[in-house]
């Protein structure tokens, strides 16, 4: 059986499968230790408390390591691995079926990828919303993979984790869309004839070069290590509605012919824009999509009760019948969704799809803007809500 077949039979066809989605906040002890800042007693207590709560083996070794701060580079790397271990255990402890490490060893989804790529230069920090920012680079030279940038992390997480794994990887379209282009277009002319076509051609070349020369070799390296399920994160996927064809083309260029199961994550968009474009993403086994941000907090399973999920039929009707992982946790608030609200969002989704094996359950996006306490409770309620739904559906 191919690796794709193995992944599908192992996890992807499980009704109401639950999994994590992206990053968790980095604990203060991890941030301070890696930044060379002083570690305070409350940081040590935090490491100890969460270590006990999550059953992290030998966590007192971490506390002892932190006591030695400031740390050298080797010890800092060790702290990052500890943080990764804590992340895995948090996601396992709440009861998710498929986990990763909350991206504890990475800097940020875009920054981490670009930092390991050839052809980019940093241009400063740009705001995403409120007081949330990201570092933005410009493409200035030929794009290439400096070194596979998830191999070490994946090898470590596989060693630590007890649950099934899914590796999140930032997608080509998002990397290109979040970057400035100083190479492919390279002009600023106003009102010049043909500039719109030149802009479009330059975008296509840029996006596909990221797919072919950066993302694909990185995926190949992970598959070589035994990764079976790879999630291509594309929060930028629908940023430019007239480029959905490029988004789809970049996904296909990244994964076509590779022997693994591929899914993609979309969030905070007008999801209608993805149709009919994503009808061409036949290699995508699952779409993981954030909905709770747009939904009501009132209970109910009817269409009118669940305004955030109105686009579900369009995913249901995709000809290649992918699974849909429905976001049921709003990651932008500390509101803890009651299990009953999660249940109703799940039941509504199953009702629309008519098949619980095609519905998976996730947070809308990574929970990195929430405290661990809030993330833990939200995820606990996600799992509890799915159990309620299963009971209702007699699964």
Residues that bind other proteins (CB under 8 A): 28, 123-131, 133-134, 136, 138, 177-178, 180-182, 186-191, 235-236, 239-241, 268-270, 293-294, 332
CA distance 54 to 56: 6
Cβ proximity to other proteins, 290 vs 339, nearer residue: 290
CA distance 285 to 278: 12
Cβ proximity to other proteins, 195 vs 316, nearer residue: 195
| Phi and psi torsions of 284, nearest 5° | -95, 115
Q: How far is the CB of 14 from other proteins (least distance, A)?
A: 31
Cβ proximity to other proteins, 72 vs 130, nearer residue: 130
The helix or strand, by DSSP H or E, that contains position 360, with its residue range, turns out to be: strand 359-362
Cβ partners under 8 Å of residue 72, min gap 6: none
Task: Supply 164's token pair.
Answer: 């099934």
Torsion of CA 371, 372, 375, 376, to 10 degrees: -150
Cβ proximity to other proteins, 129 vs 298, nearer residue: 129
Q: How far is the CB of 185 from other proteins (least distance, A)?
A: 8
- Spatial CA neighbour of 218 closest among 175, 246, 254: 254
Cβ proximity to other proteins, 181 vs 351, nearer residue: 181
Helices assigned H by DSSP within the chain: 3-7, 28-35, 41-54, 59-67, 73-93, 109-115, 151-160, 172-177, 195-210, 216-225, 244-255, 312-316, 339-353, 372-393
Q: How far is the CB of 236 from other proteins (least distance, A)?
A: 6
Q: How far is the CB of 195 from other proteins (least distance, A)?
A: 9
CA distance 177 to 203: 9
Which whole-number Å values give the CA distances from 303 to 38, 268, 307, 314, in the listed order?
A: 52, 20, 7, 14
Cβ proximity to other proteins, 93 vs 296, nearer residue: 296
Cβ proximity to other proteins, 93 vs 293, nearer residue: 293
Q: How far is the CB of 133 from other proteins (least distance, A)?
A: 5
Cβ proximity to other proteins, 220 vs 240, nearer residue: 240
Inter-residue contact 258 to 219 (CB < 8 Å) = yes
Instruction: For CA atoms 190, 196, 199, 201, give the dihedral sign.
Output: negative
Q: How far is the CB of 27 from other proteins (least distance, A)?
A: 11
Inter-residue contact 357 to 324 (CB < 8 Å) = no
């Amino acid at each position: 059986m191919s690796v794709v077949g193995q992944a599908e039979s192992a996890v992807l066809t499980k009704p109401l499968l639950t999994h994590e989605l992206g990053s968790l906040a980095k604990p203060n002890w991890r941030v301070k230790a890696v930044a060379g800042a002083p570690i305070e007693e409350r940081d040590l207590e935090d490491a100890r408390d969460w270590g006990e709560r999550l059953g992290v083996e030998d966590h007192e070794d971490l506390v002892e390591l932190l006591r030695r701060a400031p740390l050298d580079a080797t010890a800092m790397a060790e702290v990052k691995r500890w943080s990764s271990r804590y992340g895995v255990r948090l996601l396992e402890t709440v009861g998710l079926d498929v986990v990763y490490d909350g991206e504890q060893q990475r800097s940020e989804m875009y920054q981490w990828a670009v930092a390991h790529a050839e052809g980019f230069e940093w241009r400063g920090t740009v705001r995403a919303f409120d007081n949330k920012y990201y570092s933005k680079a410009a493409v200035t030279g030929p794009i290439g993979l400096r070194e596979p940038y998830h191999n070490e992390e994946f090898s470590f997480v596989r060693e630590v984790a007890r649950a099934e794994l899914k590796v999140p990887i930032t997608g080509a379209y998002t990397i290109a869309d979040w970057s400035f282009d100083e190479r492919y277009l390279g002009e600023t002319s106003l009102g010049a004839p043909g500039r719109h076509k030149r802009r479009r051609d330059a975008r296509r070349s840029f996006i596909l070069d990221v797919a072919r020369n950066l993302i694909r070799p990185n995926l190949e390296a992970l598959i070589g290590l035994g990764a079976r399920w790879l999630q291509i994160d594309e929060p930028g996927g629908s940023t430019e509605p007239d480029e959905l064809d490029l988004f789809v083309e970049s996904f296909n260029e990244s994964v076509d012919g590779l022997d693994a199961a591929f899914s993609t994550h979309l969030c905070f968009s007008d999801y209608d824009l993805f149709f009919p474009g994503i009808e061409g993403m036949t290699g995508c086994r699952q779409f993981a999509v954030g909905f709770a941000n747009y939904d009501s907090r009132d209970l109910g399973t009817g269409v009118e009760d669940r305004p955030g999920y109105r686009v579900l039929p369009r995913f249901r009707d995709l000809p290649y019948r992918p699974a849909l992982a429905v976001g049921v946790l709003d990651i932008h608030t500390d509101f803890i969704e009651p299990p009953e609200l999660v249940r109703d969002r799940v039941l509504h989704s199953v009702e629309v799809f008519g098949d619980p094996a095609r519905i998976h359950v996730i947070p809308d996006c990574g929970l990195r803007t929430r405290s661990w306490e809030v993330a833990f409770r939200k995820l606990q309620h996600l799992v509890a809500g799915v159990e309620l739904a299963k009971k209702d559906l007699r699964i």
